[in-house]
Structures are given as C-alpha cells and as structure tokens.
Amino acid sequence: MLLQSRFEDGSPMTRSEIGDQLLSLLAAGHETTATVLAWAFERIRRHPELLDRLVAEADGEGHELIDATMTEVQRVRPVVDLIARKIIADSLELRSCTLTRGETVMSSVEAVHNDANLFANPERFDPGRFLGVRPDPAEWIPFGGGARRCIGAAFAQMELRVVLRTVLRHYTLEPTEAPGERCRLKSIVTVPAGGGKVTLHSRS
C-alpha cells in the first residue's frame, strides 16, 4: 500500500518516508494506545453503572458501548494535545490571519474537544454522546486530521476494543470513589498522574 501511494503531484514516497510511516504504524502507536487504555480504566472505574453495562456487552457479541466509551475517553483525555502542520501553499487564509509558506500552525486537541459549541457539557464524561453516532472528523481529532491523519488510527481503535473487551470478560474491575487522576505530561503524551492503577479480580 505504501509503495503504491502517491502524493498530490503523482510522485511516490521515498524509502525514508516509507520508513517513517512504518515506524509510526508499528512502533510509535504502542505508547499512545497503552495510555488511552490507562485513561479508559481510570475513567470507567469512577462510573460503576457504565462499568456494569460494559461488562454485560463484553460478555455478549456487541461492541457499540465499548467503541463509544473509547471514543469518549479520547475526547476527554486526549493523549497528544498539540498537532502541528507546516504551510506548503504560497499563502493560507485562516479567518483573520494570512499565513505564508513555511509557517507552522498548531492546534490543541484538548481545546477542540472542550468546545461547548461542538460537544454539549464537554466537561462531563458521557460515552452515550457517541452511541450510534460517528464522531465528526473535524471535531474529534485525537489522531489529527486531513491527509496527515494518523495512519494507524483504525488499527489503534481495533486494539482498544479487543483489549478492553478481553479484560472485562476475564476480570472484575473494582470501582472507586477516589477523585479522578490529574493529567501529567510524560515525554509528548499526557498520562494519568497516578499511573492509572487498577485492582482486578479473576472471574474464572
């Protein structure tokens, strides 16, 4: 697929560019995916009714609530906040600003996800907002967007579903009334300050 891909001018990717994409696909996504899972367990432990519903779904065949929960986790706790893009056109009009070639624009995922014009009650953790609704790719942007959207996004979403379902099928996750964990920056990712530790009991 990468060998056959072409840029807008029809030119192929160089070996170096293909290598960068493979690194992103096979290696770079591991830490971010693991961090999303840490936040998922941190969030659902504090919502016991949701946890019960997730366990019931995990024991069955569906995955709508699991998917909605993982989508909401990434909305309220984006693992990577800043997305940078370099202007390659001669100029770009962005509202009242005129940007020129070579300038860099950075967007905050957290700011977009907390915009009340896009998400009602954005401070509330509510997977129900995504039940039966696909997130708008211009509003839900944990993987970036446009032509440079993370190439491993679909694979990461599949991993999140499989891991969460497997854990809930085989273990009982203890809920907690402890306050939610603060965010802490680790390298370029935002992790639970307390490590997202959980107490599990085997269901077998």
In the block, residue with structure tokens 């965010």: 183
Q: What is the phi/psi pair of residue 186, to 5°?
A: -125, 110
Per-residue pLDDT tens over the stretch 3-30: 777 878 888 888 888 887 777 666 567 8
CA-CA distance, 89 to 25, in Å (whole number)?
Answer: 27
Closest of 61, 64, 60, 41 to residue 51, by C-alpha: 41
CB 125 within 8 A of CB 72: yes
Per-residue pLDDT tens over the stretch 90-133: 999 988 989 999 999 898 999 999 999 999 999 999 999 999 99
Q: What is the CA radius of gyration of the chain?
A: 19
pTM score over 0.95? no
Q: Is 44 exposed, middle or buried (0-12, 13-18, 19+ CB in 10 A)?
A: buried
- In this predicted structure, the answer to whether residue 84 has a pLDDT above a threshold of 90 is no
- Tell me the domain boundaries of the chain: 15-79+111-202
Coil, strand, or helix at residue 190?
Answer: strand
Task: State which fold the 15-79+111-202 domain adopts.
Answer: Cytochrome p450 (1.10.630)
